[in-house]
Amino acid sequence: MRIDLMAWLSWFAALGISAQEGENETVVWYAGTSRTTSPDGETVYGPAVNILVKRIVQPAQNRILEIVHHPGERFEAQLIRLEKSTTFAASDEGKSWTGFLEFSGKEWSWDSWSYFVRMSDGSGSLIGKAKLMERTFTIEKFFHDAAGKKKARLFEELRSISENEYQDRLRKMQEK
């Protein structure tokens, strides 16, 4: 599995900024980049990847849905809250990975989180932490191989954008 494919896992939970609210859900749009390096950050593994994220937060269903776009790729994931805890079970639609996220902060407006995700093909896992600061959040995570050795560092920075900006950027991304 390519490491940049796993970059999208970082967008879970920066739920404090509402762009559009309905009776039972909130939709938030984000744009940013993902950079992959050696674990110490010294060696860059390719160019930064542009990312777009549409997050649908559904507190009444204890669920968060994520649609993530990289150039030429689309991913969809679902997070399901476990009981009344701050822990969510997470997986993508193809079950190529599964894991758990632990949120901190105000209920449904969490401002930090950590997670552990295991690749279903046995190639390894992602362990990371993130922090929301106003309209921007940063994520640092590490890919560990099946033996547990750190193989890569992924760093992402995303900011909230309007739905119109999201649609414009998505159109341009798909044209390339």
User: Which CATH number do you get for residue 21?
Assistant: 2.40.128.20
How high is the pLDDT of residue 21? 52
For 132-164, the pLDDT digits (tens) are: 888 888 999 999 999 999 999 999 999 999 999
In which domain, by residue range, is 19 found?
A: 3-175
Q: For the chain, how many structural domains are there in total? A: 1
How high is the pLDDT of residue 17? 38
CB neighbour list of residue 12: distance below 8 Å, 6 or more residues apart: 64, 66, 77, 79, 88, 90, 101, 113, 115, 130
Query: 146 is written with which tokens?
Result: 């099946």
Distance CA 96, CA 115 (A): 16
By the 8 A CB rule, do 81 and 97 touch? no
How high is the pLDDT of residue 23? 57
**Under-70 pLDDT residues of the chain:** 1-23
